[in-house]
Amino acid sequence: MPHPLHLFRHCPRCGCDAFGENDERSKRCASCNFVFYHNASAATVAVIIDEQGRLLITRRALEPAKGTLDLPGGFVDPGESIEDGCLREVMEETGAEAILERYLFSLPNTYRFSDFDVHTTDAFFLVKIKPGQKLRPNDDAAELFWCEPHRLSPDDFGLQSIREGVRRLLPMLSELT
């Protein structure tokens, strides 16, 4: 297994090519002593359930896992709280304003992007769409649809953390409405 920063060959501070492995998740520059750690990125997942107990599903418009099922969510921006990141992602992917109800759980994920494994910690939140909002797919959501829990198969979800999250959610969904 290659070092998680194997694609990083030059120090981001001084540009030196003496940027070598420091430990299992960091690299150190031999010239300026800058140390860069490969830490997990924060990401969010919105669990949105309507009055009929159906779960809002998206279809991924982009790689990774283009065309597979997903739940609304994504990366938290720098300077943004994880809660604000969740609500922003819901707005970006559905066009709807939402209300964060409560935190549910978190799961680790590896998100392959630009031939690089981005390790994330995905925080799942119960979210409600504000009344009167019209949903429309946008950003990296190609499609939005409501699905009854008994019709869901975790294996239809393309990202590992979402598959595992749906497995955890299925027995809980009736209690969350």
In DSSP terms, 42 is beta-bridged to 121
Note if 80 is an active site residue.
Answer: no
What are the CA-CA distances from residue 3 to residues 8, 116, 123, 145, 176 (Å)? Answer: 10, 11, 26, 40, 41
Q: Which domain holds residue 29?
A: 1-39
Tell me, what CATH number does 165's domain have? 3.90.79.10
Query: What does pTM read for this prediction?
Result: 0.91
Whether 86 contacts 106, CB under 8 Å: no
Report the share of the chain in percent with pLDDT over 90.
Answer: 90
Tell me: do 126 and 143 sit in the same domain: yes
**Are 120 and 147 in the same domain?**
yes
Whether residue 58 sits in one domain with residue 30: no
At residue 132, does pLDDT exceed 90?
yes
Choosing from 21, 63, 97, 143, which is the catalytic residue? 143
Task: Indicate whether 6 and 76 sit together in one domain.
Answer: no
Examine the domain organization and report whether 11 and 66 are in the same domain. Answer: no
pLDDT in tens, 10-61: 999 999 999 999 999 999 999 999 999 999 999 999 999 999 999 999 999 9
User: For the chain, what is the domain count?
Assistant: 2
CB 44 within 8 A of CB 122: yes
